[in-house]
Chains A and B, each alone.
Chain A
């Protein structure tokens, strides 16, 4: 375990560069939205929401991906096993997801308490993910973060093993897979059923339950691929 923690420090030792980016980028998105909302003023009807929160998730996926592509070759060179490296990376990403979800929840409370930052802006309390139980809300923020992190790690592992061609091949396979699903749904005329299925899911299931299954699949798949990665 202590060696896993030592390997985890590989990710955190230069944290100002890697960990401050997600919040820095989200903060700039937030300020930009705030400025736009301020400029538009009263001409908006009702509470308008932004998609700015996504910036944090996208940045985290990139951070997770580069935490594999950048650190794995170094870790291997420092006599760290693949298993220890992967456990350490998963540990850091899980800790970050939870550590980021709590302030997101607090910011959401603040947003609701200040009437959308005085401008009726919904940046953190977006409809779909707005649940009323505090713990559940933290999970609704945290599990999608976990998902993007493990997706980023998985992509990083694919890069570590097969280079950029592997990443492109994975993208093609992903697009074909999603296209096939869409095709099957269209053929069987099941779009309404599929739509209802999503609409019937409570936010907790849609944003915490199902993504958690994907997280586990990505985590297992990423480890299986990294086991055979070579210097």
Chain B
């Protein structure tokens, strides 16, 4: 197993603001990673540092065996689609396709045109005249058709309708199967992509709070609902992430492994145990509600 990207103790400060604090992880080759976190958690900053577009205040990044900063060989294997991508005013969609063909070594032009057709993006229109959703569809197309060994999507679905989003997820999965590569999906709509994600990275306030296989996570976090005493008994000795009160009942978000023994215990105590989706899990991990 090769690490495509290794991040070691990366921090980023803007004046007094800490955007990232001592973040370390590595990305596996040919896996789909979900980079999750709330707005302002540092997701975009982290991806800009990975691609050498922004410089870290401290720490080290290794991208395909070198620092990403001004690293032509490494960067030519990267396609970073960000929601805020600026396009020159003079560019039509066709210009974007031609420059992408020049700059991405594995670019598939036919595939890009088909995909734009499916997403109903006219190729002769100025990019600045595209709607929010069409601009996102163009970004998605560049990201998929570039077939870059490291492909990063930062909030790629903004403005896309449900049909276009589904097309994106389907094509991503199909193209990923045909041309395996390392993918980072930074998204809020976690449940829509929950099945795609193989590895979860969760950022909260600039800290990496979780780096875990999605499969492990899926069975590992539950919501336990019941009378307070029963929930207390069930939660004893486990990591409780969150607790809320619903009238007479208490709902606790608990992390740990839950097998048959735990289930019979819950039954005996009268506690309902429900597995949490990735999205519910993220909310319970990062949601801070003022009391």
Binding site for B on A (CB under 8 A): 3, 6-7, 9-10, 13-14, 17-18, 70-71, 73-74, 76-84, 227-228, 230-231
Contact = CB atoms under 8 A, between A and B. Distances in A.
Contacts of A10: 88, 99
Interface string B38-74: 0000000000100111110000000000000011100
B90 interface: yes
A114 B206 CA distance: 71
B98 A230 contact: no
B120 interface: no
Nearest to A77: B85
11 contacts: A9-B98, A13-B98, A18-B90, A74-B85, A74-B87, A74-B91, A77-B85, A79-B104, A83-B70, A227-B70, A231-B48
Nearest to A228: B55
Contacts of B224: none
Contacts of A14: 88, 90-92, 95
B254 interface: no
Given A74-B85, A80-B75, A81-B72, 14 more contacts: A7-B103, A9-B98, A10-B88, A13-B98, A13-B99, A14-B91, A18-B90, A70-B89, A77-B85, A78-B103, A79-B104, A80-B103, A231-B48, A231-B54
Contacts of A82: 70
Interface of B: 48, 51-55, 70-72, 75-76, 78-80, 82, 85-92, 95, 98-100, 102-104, 148
- Top 4 nearest A-B pairs by Cβ distance? A231-B53, A6-B102, A14-B90, A73-B86
B125 to A, nearest CB: 13
A77 B98 CA distance: 15
B34 to A, nearest CB: 22
Given A9-B98, A13-B95, A13-B99, A81 B71 contact: yes
A227 B52 CA distance: 11
Contacts, number: 74
A10 B96 CA distance: 9
A175 B176 CA distance: 57
A6 B88 CA distance: 16
Contacts of B54: 230-231
B72 A230 contact: no
B258 to A, nearest CB: 43
A59 B248 CA distance: 74
A77 B99 CA distance: 12
Contacts of B48: 230-231
Contacts of B100: 78
Contact of A9 (B76, B102, B148): B102
- Which residue, of A76, A227, A231, has the highest number of chain B Cβ atoms within 10 A? A231
A79 B80 contact: yes
Contacts of A79: 51, 75-76, 78-80, 103-104, 148
Contact of B76 (A3, A70, A73, A74): A3
B53 A76 contact: yes
A13 B87 CA distance: 13
Contacts of B82: 77
Contacts of B102: 6-7, 9
Nearest to B69: A81
